[in-house]
Each structure stands twice: as C-alpha cells, then as structure tokens.
C-alpha cells in the first residue's frame, strides 16, 4: 500500500501503502500501508482487498507499562525551522527558501509583522483540504522544482509538489534522532524496516548510522525520489533495499518468511491505495498491521514506532491499541503528540508549539 500523502506527485487519497497520508501532517500527508503511491494513483482501478488477511493474534500476559502524555518537540534542525504561524498558515524556512503553506491548526494570529510574511520565496495556493491539490506561487522569481536540503547530516532534495508537501516531514526529526542513537549504540548492525518510507530521509539517516534498511513505499515516484536523495548524498553503497509494494502485502509475506527487524517505523496515511488498487483505511487496517509488525520484531527489538496524521482521534486510541498489540512483551508504550515550536527569523527564538501528528512508540524498557 502506498505511503503517506507526502509523496511526490501523489494524491492525498493514497492507498494502503500510504500515499496520501497527511495533510501536511498538520503539514504532512497521511500514510497508508503503501503510502504516496497509492494516493497518487487514486482511483484508477476498482478497489481490491489490501492483502490476504489473517485473524488477529490472541495476546496474553500483562500490557506494557505506559508513559502518557508524551510531547516530542522540535525547534527545527539542519536546514529547517518554523519561523511563525497564524491565521491558518505557517511560515517556514527550508534551506535558502522562506515558504508559506496552509496550516489549519494555527488558530492564533501571527507573531511577526506582515512585512516579514510578505518577503517569501514560495506560497502554496489552492485547495487547502487534506486531500486537495493546488499550486505554488513564487512572489520573487520562478524557482526550480527541487533544491538541496540537509537534516541530521543527510542530503536530500526539497520539491514543490502539488499537495503542498516539500519532501520531508521535519517533525519526524525526533523519531529519526532516537533511531539514529539506537543504531549507533547497538554494537551490532540493526535491521530497520521503514514502512511508508516516502522520500527516504529516515532510511538514509538509519543506514548512515550503520543499520541495514528495508524501505517500503507503494509509490514509484516516491521510490524514485528516494533514490535521487541517496545519489545526492553519494550514499549508493549503503545497505538499503528499496521496495515498491503495498505495505500490508509486504509485511504479511515477511511474516510468512520468518523475517525479523530490530526497529520498525510505520507512518500510514488515513486512506491510501496500493500499486494494484489495494485499499487502505487506517481505522480498519491498523490493528492487523501492528499485529503483523509485532510478529516480525526480533527477540532483541529496539522499538516499534507509529505516527498518525490527519485523523480525528485522541492519541489514546493508538496508545491503547499499541499496548494491546504488545501485551506480554514487557517494555513501555509511550504516546502523545509530535509538535514543532516556532523558532523566529533566527531559528533560535522559541515561540508557540504547533501540533503536527499523534504517535505511539513501544520500547523494550
């Protein structure tokens, strides 16, 4: 299934693999099991089941301990920071460019004066609905489709897409930093599975830290973009498998094969379509997806991370699902929200916190 809505060229109606995942996740696209690709291909064919289903496992034992609510906050990193927000928009810095995009959760007024907001390089206009599309306006001069960016030491391409996304969801930096630390201190090559991997930034961060990575996305465009990012950073020799496939189908096959992973990242969209029209609905398919993910966690697993964008639910809904899924496994489930804090023009002046998504993370201790 496709991965989230973030993907290149994809329509936010991604499929199980997660194409259309977030609405920018409050700026991001939602990721279905096969994210962006699914959404992009939209309804090109009749819907087919996401994948051969199996019943949920009957879990026994105590539920893991819990840590709630947890707010994971970023003030920006590398070439990104949130300058200001308000009146349903956000003002961001991505490398050399200052960008304005819709942001439904910015209910307040901007902190900075209007002349700051007027001096921007790109403004997303058009449909502001999560599943909508639009176009970019360039007030100063026409800009190229892509430009270089860097986060956590990884080079990648920003891109002006018709779905307001630019190829990266910077709030995820907190999960990527955590993953990078786990890989570097493991003392052994960890196996990382990145479901709905979109443009591959997380996969490149993990591989650069020493992990063996399997990256899954249902969108051919997303996979192509990820390979471009790999080449940009001269990281072609890193151990990454790029898999263009419906996420649910992939993990069910991995379960049958007995494959195991030490860290699993999954960022499904709320709705998506896989490469062959497979349909993904977050509330219908997430329980099975997490159930299968648990089965392919290694005995020495380091973590299972779920992020959910653009859904009308409390973090408690995915928190309790994660605790039930990991019943008998010990460890801790910590859940809450990912937020980005405004950092001003200088990138160092803390302002208001902007919520971007819900998350739940199981760790062994």
Average pLDDT, the chain: 87
Per-residue CA distances from 25 to 6, 8, 247, 267, 292 (Å): 9, 15, 20, 11, 25
CA dihedral 269, 171, 351, 98 (to 10 degrees): -90
Strands 332-341 and 65-74: parallel
Q: For residues 365 and 94, which has the higher predicted lDDT (pLDDT)? A: 94
Stretch 2-25: mean pLDDT, rounded?
Answer: 39
Residue 26 has pLDDT above 50, yes or no: no
Q: For residues 328 and 311, which has the higher predicted lDDT (pLDDT)? A: 328
Stretch 40-45: mean pLDDT, rounded?
Answer: 32
* Tens digit of each residue's pLDDT (9 = 90 or more) over 102-123: 999 999 999 999 999 999 999 9
Percent of the chain at pLDDT > 90 equals: 76
Stretch 20-45: mean pLDDT, rounded?
Answer: 38
95: its two tokens: 């490398």
d(CA 219, CA 165): 15
Q: For residues 295 and 312, which has the higher predicted lDDT (pLDDT)? A: 295
Residue 19 has pLDDT above 60, yes or no: no
**E strand or H helix at 308:** strand 303-308
Percent of the chain at pLDDT > 70 equals: 84
pTM, full prediction: 0.86
* Tens digit of each residue's pLDDT (9 = 90 or more) over 181-204: 999 999 999 999 999 999 999 999
Q: How confident is the model at residue 95 (pLDDT cuts 50, 70, 90)?
A: very high
| pLDDT at 335 (0 to 100) | 98
- The length of the chain is 365
- Region of 86 please: left (phi>0), alpha (psi -120 to 50) or beta: left
d(CA 207, CA 213): 6
Residue 72 has pLDDT above 60, yes or no: yes
Q: How confident is the model at residue 46 (pLDDT cuts 50, 70, 90)?
A: very low
Helices assigned H by DSSP within 90-233: 114-118, 173-185, 201-209, 220-232
């Amino acid at each position: 299934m496709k991965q989230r809505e973030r993907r290149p060229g994809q329509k936010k109606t991604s499929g199980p693999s997660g194409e259309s995942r977030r609405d920018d996740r409050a700026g991001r696209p939602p990721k279905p099991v096969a994210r962006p690709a699914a959404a992009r291909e939209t309804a090109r064919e009749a819907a087919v089941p996401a994948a051969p289903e199996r019943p949920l496992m009957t879990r026994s034992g105590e539920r893991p301990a819990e840590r709630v609510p947890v707010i994971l906050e970023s003030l920006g990193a590398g070439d990104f920071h949130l300058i200001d927000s308000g009146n349903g928009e956000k003002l961001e810095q991505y490398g050399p460019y200052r960008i304005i995009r819709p942001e439904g959760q910015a209910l307040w007024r901007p902190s900075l004066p209007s002349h700051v907001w007027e001096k921007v390089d790109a403004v997303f206009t058009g449909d502001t609905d999560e599943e909508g599309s639009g176009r970019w306006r360039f007030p100063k001069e026409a800009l190229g489709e892509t430009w270089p960016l860097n986060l956590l030491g990884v080079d990648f391409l920003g891109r002006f897409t018709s779905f307001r996304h630019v190829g990266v969801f910077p709030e995820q930096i907190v999960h990527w930093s955590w993953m990078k630390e786990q890989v570097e201190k493991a003392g052994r090559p960890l196996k990382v599975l990145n479901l709905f991997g979109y443009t591959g930034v997380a996969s490149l961060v993990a591989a650069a830290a020493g992990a063996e990575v399997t990256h899954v996305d249902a969108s051919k465009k997303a996979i192509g973009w990820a390979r471009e990012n790999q080449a940009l950073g001269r990281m072609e020799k890193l151990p990454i498998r790029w898999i263009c496939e419906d996420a649910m189908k992939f993990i069910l096959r991995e379960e049958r094969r007995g494959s195991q992973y030490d860290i699993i990242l999954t960022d499904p969209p709320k709705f998506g379509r896989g490469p062959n029209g497979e349909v993904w609905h977050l509330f219908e398919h997430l329980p099975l997806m997490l159930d299968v993910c648990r089965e392919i966690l290694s005995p020495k697993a380091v973590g299972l991370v779920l992020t959910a964008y653009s859904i009308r639910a409390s973090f408690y809904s995915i928190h309790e699902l994660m605790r039930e899924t990991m019943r008998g496994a010990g460890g801790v489930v910590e859940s809450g929200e990912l937020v980005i804090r405004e950092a001003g023009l200088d990138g160092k002046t803390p302002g208001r916190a902007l919520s971007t998504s819900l998350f739940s993370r199981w760790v062994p201790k």
